[in-house]
Amino acid sequence: MKLARLVAGVAALLLCAGPGLAQSAAGVDRLYVLDCGWAHAADQSRWSPGVDVGKPIDLSDNCYLIHHARGGYLLWDTGIADATAASPDGVAMANGAMIWHRPKTLAAQLATLGVKPDDIRYIGVSHTHPDHVGNVELFPKSTVLIQKAEYDWAFARPTPPFAAGHPVMMLDGDKDVFGDGSTIILSTPGHTPGHESLLVHLPKTGWVVLSGDVVHFKANWDNRRVPALNVDKEKSLASMQRIADILAERHAQLWINHDKPQSDGQRHAPEYYE
């Protein structure tokens, strides 16, 4: 209800203000899907306990560059570290459970778009696992938008996800990033203590939810399966239900970050959604 009131209030304000303000507050005009790596895993049941045991799976790892007409650039997640691209056979992680590959660096993809690191105003991180924060330090001036619960949890661990001195805005729940209802961080804990997803409105595409790891692939979404590695099963289920409610309310699409078949069917940069 809080989210609905927020979006409705912004829309009413624009209508009352007249066409001039509505046009100047154009919101998000471009969303680029960036290839931020992919992984091969030998056992799909790592994410679907008791189901598809021993079945291999390939996972995508996307980042998303969002341009707001007045607010500038938001980069959602930064993927596996660009240094992975120097290893043509990939890099083993999670005690060998996954082999990560990085065919294209994030830096090179942004350069192709003519976007410099200093052009990125915000970095939103769905959570602090290495395949989502691997390149935060490429953007030393960009403010990281992160839940306080996630920050406290991550920086209490032996290896911090990024430099402790990096500019940060700590959140406690949802956040309307640009103040116009077009780009809303959604608190979706469960996979990690401060996991978050992103709700984006595009003029032609409509509403899109960028999942983070609230779910890893479509079969888990359809069957509400919770990976054993999630920190809280009940919060994970509640967050999935919250996303389902938002999808129904907004007639939104769910873009599942690690679902490779879905990712393969999307337009990737330099193409974009608007």
Average pLDDT over residues 241-267: 98
Q: pTM to 2 decimals?
A: 0.90
pLDDT for 155 equals 97
In this structure, are residues 102 and 88 in contact, taking their beta carbons and an 8 Å threshold? Answer: no
Tokens 């992103």 correspond to 198
Long-range contacts: 80-84, Cβ < 8 Å, 24+?
80/36, 80/37, 80/39, 80/130, 80/131, 80/134, 81/130, 81/134, 81/135, 82/106, 82/107, 82/134, 82/135, 82/138, 84/37, 84/134
74 within domain boundaries: yes
Q: Would you state the pLDDT for residue 20?
A: 30
Write the pLDDT tens digit of every residue in 195-249: 999 999 999 999 999 999 999 999 999 999 999 999 999 999 999 999 999 999 9
Where residue 51 sits, what CATH number does that domain have? 3.60.15.10
Average pLDDT along the chain: 92
Token digits for 40?
């091969």
Tally the domains of the chain: 1
**Is the model's pLDDT at 83 over the cut of 60?**
yes
Using DSSP bridges, classify how beta strands 168-171 and 72-76 pair: parallel, antiparallel or unpaired: unpaired
Residue 110 has pLDDT above 60, yes or no: yes
User: Does 14 fall in a domain?
Assistant: no
The pLDDT of residue 274 is above 50: yes
In a domain? residue 234: yes
**Is residue 119 assigned to a domain?**
yes
**Residue 101 banded pLDDT, cuts 50, 70, 90:** very high
Would you state the pLDDT for residue 60?
98
The whole-number pLDDT of residue 96 equals 87
Judged against a pLDDT cut of 50, whether residue 7 lies above it is answered with no
Cβ partners under 8 Å of residue 177, min gap 6: 68, 71, 74, 122, 124, 145, 183, 184, 185
Domain range for 61: 30-264
In a domain, 1, yes or no: no
| Residue 41, domain member (yes or no) | yes
**Is 25 within the bounds of a domain?**
no
List the structure tokens of 261: 């078949």
